[in-house]
Amino acid sequence: MIENEFKIMLSQEQYAAIHGLYSWDSEAEQVNWYYDSDSSELSGRHITCRVRTLGGRFYLQVKLPAHENSSGAVSRIELERELTSIPEFISGQELSGFSGAAGLPDVKLLGSLSTYRSVKHFGGAEIDLDKSEYFGKTDYELEVEYTDETSAQAVISEIEQHVSLDRKAPVTGKIRRFLAEYQKNHR
């Protein structure tokens, strides 16, 4: 599956304001358990390996880079399969076989990031409003995933009528934010 999305980092106040704009289709906690090698090879190759727990189920997910367009949308190849538990270790052979990416290293569990996600569906787009906690830190993010970029732009414009957003501010993905805090806490 190809994932297309816009990401915008939010302040706590922006998050609260956007949360108050909609009646949400669903709200749930999901936990991402992140993996990488000792040398951070996956991160260096812009590959994410995680196990997501949601509703008592476990999903191995690997995200591979695809492309970024001129409007700031990011596309990634996202692969997923269900597991029976959260492994401490995943072999590079298993990861390469699952993802099709050659020469992936053995990886170990680094820790978890909990996200409280509110979801709102629109025709051709979906808002994922996230509050994430990891290593004692909390941050807020708006993701607008889409199958139709025009619909996604319209959703963002609708939000901007009520909440000021900085769409040009740099955004670091959850895995990068998690890894930065991991490095601070594991020196």
Q: Could you tell me the CATH number of the domain that includes residue 119? A: 2.40.320.10
Domain count, the chain: 1
How many CA atoms lie within 13 Å of 151's alpha carbon, on the beta-carbon side?
A: 14
Please list, in sequence order, all residues whose beta carbon lies within 8 angstroms of the beta carbon of residue 96, skipping any fewer than 6 positions away: 102, 103, 104
Phi, psi of 17 (to 5 degrees): -65, -45
Domain carrying residue 42: 2-185
Please list, in sequence order, all residues whose beta carbon lies within 8 angstroms of the beta carbon of residue 25, skipping any fewer than 6 positions away: 119, 120, 121
Surface-to-core class of residue 85, CB atoms within 10 Å of its CB (0-12 exposed, 13-18 middle, 19+ buried):
exposed
How far apart CA 104 and CA 120 sit, in angstroms, is: 35
Phi, psi of 89 (to 5 degrees): -145, 140
Per-residue pLDDT of the chain (187 residues; tens, 9 = 90+): 677 889 999 999 999 999 999 999 999 999 999 999 999 999 999 899 999 998 899 999 999 887 656 566 667 788 999 999 999 999 999 999 999 888 999 999 999 999 999 999 999 999 999 999 999 999 999 999 999 999 999 999 999 999 999 988 888 889 999 999 999 988 7
Closest CA to 10 of 121, 119, 130, 127: 130
The whole-number pLDDT of residue 66 equals: 74
The whole-number pLDDT of residue 171 equals: 86
Phi, psi of 106 (to 5 degrees): -65, 140
The whole-number pLDDT of residue 180 equals: 93
